[in-house]
Amino acid sequence: MPSEAAVIEAVPAAPPKSRRWETRRNIGDKVYKWILTVAAVSVLLIIAGTIYELTMGSRQSIAAFGLRFFSDSNWDPGRHLFGALPFILGTLYSSFWALVLALPIGLFTAIFLSEMAPRWLERPVSFMVELLAAIPSVVYGLWGLFVLQPFLVKYFEGPIANGPLAALPIFGGTANGYDMLSASVILAIMVLPYITAVSRDILRAIPRTVREASYALGATSWETIKGVVLPYARAGIIGAVMLGFGRALGETMAVTMVIGNAPIFKTDLFSSGYTLASVIANELAEASGLYRSALIEIGLCLFLITLVVNAAAKLLIYYTAQDLNATGGKK
Amino acid sequence: MAGVAASATIVAVTALVFVLLYILIGGIGSMNFSIFTQGPVPMGQEGGGLRNAIIGTLILISIACVIGLPIGILGGVYQLETNTTFSRTLRFFTDVMNSIPSIVMGIFAYLIVVLPAAEISPGHAFSAFAGGVALGFLMIPTVMRTTEEILRLVPVALRDASLALGASQWRTTLSVILPSARGGIITGILLALARIAGETAPLLFTAFGNLDFNVRLDRPIDALPLNIFNYATSPYENLHHLALAGAIILLAIILVLSIAARWALKGQLQD
């Protein structure tokens, strides 16, 4: 992939608009323009269509439950009780713990890659971390079932559940592996490449002069990273974390396979839970009527949450990159 | 603190190595020839293979290409040809589309293909076509962004030379710009394919899976990721092995696509 900066440099000054489509008015170019416009507009149509269709699909459920849908914690299709609260909380809670685990590892890896690693080490390690993003969710789920769960139960959940720490409100539940903890660890591994790659790019874009000024004042390299580089990159790093959060919220298969799929929410990491994406994955194919409508409303809810989180992340990263480009990057 | 940063990196790389090694060792141990020649057997029985799923995945990917590639590539050309507020807004929305969870795209395909199909012919709701639509939509943002980025690398002199010879806009794009950016566009396509090949969630209620062999687009179809999911979560040991074999086939497909993508781009940059 060409780097962002190289692409921007290679962009020629756009010719005046009139030369493009205005002066050469033959039929072929008109058709050409229309075909291109149709393709471009269809992206917007798909997004708008998704919002429209999901809203229409959830009409029945919205009419039946209104706002109670989001505050009710009973989910019992057999008795026509549909409350999305356990799923909303389960999604946020598992993603939160995923970030707690992934943020320090991702950020320190990014610091290592951009500030410390020699070039021969940096490229293969970057490649390997990014490779984590290429592994499909369902394969992570399989690994979670066969490797991670037994490992966590034996070396982490078991000892804690039988020890004094079990009294803490986050360590209750049965230590069988089908729980929030497994889901969060898997999610952490899955969002790690996003947090690392984006933070690394932001750190790299920080102007060399900023670091040199810090060294000139007598700061050590760690003081420079902590006191100058990280504060400089703060907005972009927050953007990277939110991007990871957005990914974690929408992750489906791996979570579905290890979280236990119980429509209850507890703060215990060893308790089974459920997420917005998982309940859709497990139940939509067989649902009909009000049940289906409720699941589609859950989809709408998931869509809107990820939309807001991702848009905010993109804007933060975009403006940080713009700021840094304006002052000149390190490369 | 350098030690902390280095250890974090080691943890990240170890995670990757653990996942890949397990799939590699477990998958190769579970491999045998009949996996490629046999269809599924009833749960609990010995034997069985992934033939239907492999063919199903290839069919689903083909449908996705038919839907996703024209929109993605032409959209990328549009981004090159215009520089308006609309095209900048569009670029932002392409990013937004890229971050829509795949399961939501699956629900969209379910609502616009599966439910209408069930109205028309009751009993035939799920279809390969619906799965292909979901995957095709998921491809668009990647193809569009990489196409645009690579087209911007084509020297403007080339375009000017073509226009100066009297070629029209569409002629210039079709015969000069697109061919000279071929490698990069192929890279985008392959990366998008690598992304959708392992998608499972949107297929659960579109392609649905099928125990019988099927190549009809209006019937449910099996797919490799669906089999991995079903077999890994089943209680049977032999199905776990099938799931592992499926995982390694899937990873091999993705790896080949990714390496081919890098290779295509390399050829491009050397031209």
- B58 in any annotated domain: yes
- B20 in any annotated domain: no
- B13 in any annotated domain: no
Q: In which residue are the tokens 């389960």 written?
A: A90
Name every chain A residue with its beta carbon within 8 A of the beta carbon of B148.
Answer: none
- Report the alpha-carbon distance of residue A75 to residue A91 in Å, rounded: 15
Q: What is the per-residue pLDDT for A15?
A: 53
- B9 in any annotated domain: no
Q: Which domain holds residue B148?
A: 31-270
Query: What CATH code is carried by the domain that includes residue B160?
Result: 1.10.3720.10
Task: Report whether pLDDT(B164) > 60.
Answer: yes
Indicate the pLDDT class of residue A303, thresholds 50, 70 and 90.
very high
Percentage of residues of chain B with pLDDT beyond 90: 75
- Report the alpha-carbon distance of residue A214 to residue B103 in Å, rounded: 47
Task: Report whether pLDDT(B264) > 90.
Answer: no
Percentage of residues of chain A with pLDDT beyond 70: 91
Q: What is the per-residue pLDDT for A161?
A: 86
Q: Which tens digit of pLDDT belongs to each residue from A136-150?
A: 999 999 999 999 999
- B143 in any annotated domain: yes
- B17 in any annotated domain: no
- A23 in any annotated domain: no
Q: What is the per-residue pLDDT for A41?
A: 94
User: Cα distance from A281 to chain B (closest Cα, Å)?
Assistant: 6
CA nearest to A282 within chain B: B204
Arithmetic mean of pLDDT, A5-12: 48
Chains A, B: CB pairs < 8 Å: 264
Q: Going by C-beta distance under 8 Å and a sequence separation of 6 or more, which residues neighbour residue B149?
A: A2, A7, B184
Q: What is the per-residue pLDDT for A330?
A: 44
Q: Which tens digit of pLDDT belongs to each residue from A108-132?
A: 999 999 988 999 999 999 988 888 8
Q: Which tens digit of pLDDT belongs to each residue from B174-207?
A: 999 999 999 999 999 999 999 999 999 999 999 9
Interface residue A1 vs chain B (CB under 8 A) = yes
Q: What is the per-residue pLDDT for A326?
A: 72
Q: Which of A19, A44, A127, A139 to mutate to probe the B interface, most B CBs <10 Å?
A: A139
Task: Report whether pLDDT(A10) > 60.
Answer: no
Total domains, chain B? 1
Asked if B52 and B209 count as a contact pair (C-beta separation under 8 A), the reply is: no
For the whole model, what pTM was predicted?
Answer: 0.91
How many Å is the Cα radius of gyration of chain A?
A: 24
Arithmetic mean of pLDDT over chain B: 92
- Report the alpha-carbon distance of residue B26 to residue B24 in Å, rounded: 6
Total domains, chain A? 1
Q: Going by C-beta distance under 8 Å and a sequence separation of 6 or more, which residues neighbour residue B243?
A: A142, B227, B228, B231, B232
Task: Report whether pLDDT(B224) > 50.
Answer: yes
Q: What is the per-residue pLDDT for A172?
A: 81
Sign for the CA dihedral angle at A81, A286, A141, A154 comes to: positive
Interface residue A289 vs chain B (CB under 8 A) = no
Task: Report whether pLDDT(A7) > 80.
Answer: no
Q: What is the per-residue pLDDT for A75?
A: 95
Residue B217 half-sphere exposure, CB side, CA atoms within 13 Å?
A: 12
Q: What is the per-residue pLDDT for B269?
A: 61
Say if the ipTM goes beyond 0.85: yes
Indicate the pLDDT class of residue B48, thresholds 50, 70 and 90.
confident
CB distance B104–A54 less than 8 Å? yes
- B208 in any annotated domain: yes
How many Å is the Cα radius of gyration of chain B?
A: 22
Q: Which tens digit of pLDDT belongs to each residue from A179-192?
A: 999 999 999 999 99
Q: Going by C-beta distance under 8 Å and a sequence separation of 6 or more, which residues neighbour residue A174?
A: A161, A270, A271
Q: Which domain holds residue A115?
A: 58-327
Q: What is the per-residue pLDDT for A240?
A: 93
Query: What CATH code is carried by the domain that includes residue A95?
Result: 1.10.3720.10
Task: Report whether pLDDT(B50) > 90.
Answer: yes
The most confident of A113-117, A320-324, B222-226, by mean pLDDT: B222-226
Task: Report whether pLDDT(B267) > 90.
Answer: no
- Report the alpha-carbon distance of residue A11 to residue B79 in Å, rounded: 12
- B126 in any annotated domain: yes
Arithmetic mean of pLDDT, B209-220: 92
Task: Report whether pLDDT(A6) > 60.
Answer: no
